[in-house]
């Protein structure tokens, strides 16, 4: 997903990358003000001291801009969770992880939208950007395993818990901490359930679904 002509010399490449970062940062600012889907390329260009066609030296299209923002947001996410202090008790570490993720979403609604909701028609992360998202996912999964969670179903439940807390936080108390406060209890509730089921790992309860499983 390289833009148009990638700069040749190191010096030029450096400036190119720097300018690209300011464009992405300004795009975030516009998205926060008007909404993610309402970013105007002409206004974005103005904000970074360029004319609209010049943006095409950095992005092939508007979707490519969203792609860069997607990767950028996921890098922020990785940065935040890797900065968390190590805990002897992996369960306590899990609590803090979930609290931090909920805070992260609460801090920036549109960032949460781009990263976790499919809100832009036609947008799909490029392989490179998707790899960043998977890196985050791998880190989270590793912490889960440390806390003794390995069953796929258990993992699905955990992702549901986290996405539920973050979504409610963003939707009903953006900038606040109403669901951040519930994170500890939710994680402890979850770990209690996991501990309950690991005694008999063979018998997996399944919901009487009306649809036949695939």
Residue choice 1, 29, 47, 50 for contact with DNA (CB under 7 A):
50
Which residue stretches of the chain are H helix? 10-34, 41-47, 62-82, 90-107, 109-116, 127-146, 152-172, 183-197
Residue choice 26, 36, 58, 73 for contact with DNA (CB under 7 A):
58
| Interaction partner, residue 120 (DNA, a copy of itself, none; CB < 5-8 Å by kind) | a copy of itself
Q: What are φ and ψ of residue 40, in 5° steps?
A: -105, 125
| Interaction partner, residue 33 (DNA, a copy of itself, none; CB < 5-8 Å by kind) | none
Closest CA to 140 of 78, 71, 192: 78
Residue choice 1, 29, 63, 80 for contact with DNA (CB under 7 A):
63
Q: Which of residues 5-44 bind DNA (CB under 7 A)?
A: 5-8, 12-13, 16, 19, 39-43
Cα-based angle 105, 70, 47 (whole degrees, multiple of 5): 95
| Interaction partner, residue 178 (DNA, a copy of itself, none; CB < 5-8 Å by kind) | a copy of itself
CA distance linking residue 61 with residue 82, whole number of Å: 32
Residues at the interface with DNA (CB under 7 A)? 5-8, 12-13, 16, 19, 39-43, 45, 49-54, 56-58, 60-63
């Amino acid at each position: 997903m390289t833009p148009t002509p990638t700069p040749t010399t190191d010096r030029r490449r450096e400036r190119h990358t720097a300018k690209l970062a300011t464009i992405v940062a300004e795009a975030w600012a516009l998205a926060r003000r008007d909404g993610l889907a309402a970013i105007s390329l002409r206004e974005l260009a103005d904000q970074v001291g360029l004319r609209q066609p010049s943006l095409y030296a950095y992005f092939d299209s508007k979707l490519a801009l969203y792609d860069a923002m997607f990767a950028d947001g996921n890098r922020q996410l990785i940065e935040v969770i890797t900065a968390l202090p190590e805990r002897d008790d992996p369960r306590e570490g899990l609590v803090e992880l979930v609290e931090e993720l909920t805070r992260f979403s609460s801090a920036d609604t549109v960032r949460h939208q781009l990263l976790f909701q499919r809100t832009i028609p036609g947008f799909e992360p490029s392989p490179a950007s998707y790899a960043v998202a998977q890196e985050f996912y791998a880190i989270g999964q590793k912490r889960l395993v440390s806390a003794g969670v390995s069953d796929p179903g258990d993992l699905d439940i955990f992702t549901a818990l986290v996405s539920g807390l973050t979504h409610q936080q963003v939707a009903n108390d953006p900038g606040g901490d109403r669901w951040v406060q519930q994170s500890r209890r939710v994680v402890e509730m979850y770990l209690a359930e996991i501990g309950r089921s690991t005694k008999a790992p063979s018998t997996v309860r399944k919901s009487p679904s009306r649809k036949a499983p695939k």
